[in-house]
């Protein structure tokens, strides 16, 4: 089945409808509308930004691919300030989605995304129009969230399997690397049959005790 084009005259009403769908937490519908608008008007900045935000709204369900699709839209934003600002939005929302997962190591991965968001917000601040403090407001929000999630103490029971030092506190890139390994392990375990999962965990414990 083929997609049907909308009319150029219907673009303003379509964009209003996309915003309403986002407010109703139906960002998939908003995304579809924005794509229809961009088929007719590829440079429409309101549609590009709305599409980017609609994709970031869905980061909780679609992390990696969602970030890629959102970042691909940055090159279509013509204003330098807005390009930097929305690059920060992508990173911040990626961090928030990571926190929402609630798995072991999520906070540590989120910290790295918050730090990247701060880099973009700082760039946006340097270019912001007079009276526009959006980048500062978002900077402050990220700093406060970082204060809650920046450090992790690794519990002793996990360390033998991962080869970590007893009671060691991690930070920075080493912390993010540990968190990524934990998340990959969680994803692998989630895809295993229960019997296989129990067997593999038992094997890991026996190997840890042998060390």
Q: Contact, 92 vs 117, CB < 8 A?
A: yes
Q: 25-29, long-range: CB within 8 Å, 24+ apart, which pairs?
A: 25/57, 27/54, 27/55, 27/57, 27/58, 28/54, 28/58
State the Cα–Cα distance between residues 204 and 177, nearest whole angstrom.
20
Q: Contact, 105 vs 182, CB < 8 A?
A: yes
Q: Contact, 172 vs 190, CB < 8 A?
A: no
Looking at 55-59, 62-66, 129-133, 204-208, which range is the least confident one? 204-208
**Cα 30 off chain centre by:** 19
How many CB atoms sit inside 10 A of residue 111's CB?
24
Region 156-162: what's the mean pLDDT?
39
Assess whether pLDDT exceeds 70 at residue 114: yes
Is the pTM of the predicted complex or chain greater than 0.75?
Answer: no
Looking at 106-120, 136-150, 196-210, which range is the least confident one? 196-210
Q: Contact, 14 vs 6, CB < 8 A?
A: yes
């Amino acid at each position: 089945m083929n997609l049907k084009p909308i009319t150029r005259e219907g673009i303003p009403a379509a964009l209003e409808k996309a915003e309403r769908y986002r407010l109703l937490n139906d960002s998939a519908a908003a995304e579809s509308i924005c794509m229809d608008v961009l088929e007719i008007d590829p440079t429409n900045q309101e549609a590009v930004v709305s599409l980017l935000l609609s994709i970031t709204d869905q980061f909780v369900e679609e992390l990696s691919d969602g970030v890629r699709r959102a970042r691909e839209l940055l090159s279509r934003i013509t204003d330098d300030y807005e390009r930097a600002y929305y690059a920060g939005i992508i990173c911040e929302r990626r961090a928030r989605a990571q926190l929402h997962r609630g798995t072991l190591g999520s906070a540590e991965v989120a910290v790295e995304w918050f730090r990247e968001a701060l880099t973009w917000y700082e760039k946006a601040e340097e270019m912001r129009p007079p009276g526009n403090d959006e980048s500062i407001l978002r900077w402050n929000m990220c700093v406060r969230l970082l204060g809650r999630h920046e450090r992790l103490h690794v519990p002793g029971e996990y360390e033998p399997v991962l080869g970590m030092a007893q009671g060691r506190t991690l930070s920075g890139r080493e912390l993010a690397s540990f968190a990524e390994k934990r998340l990959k392990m969680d994803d692998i375990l989630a895809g295993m049959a229960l019997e296989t999962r129990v067997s593999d965990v038992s094997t890991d414990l026996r190997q840890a005790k042998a060390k």
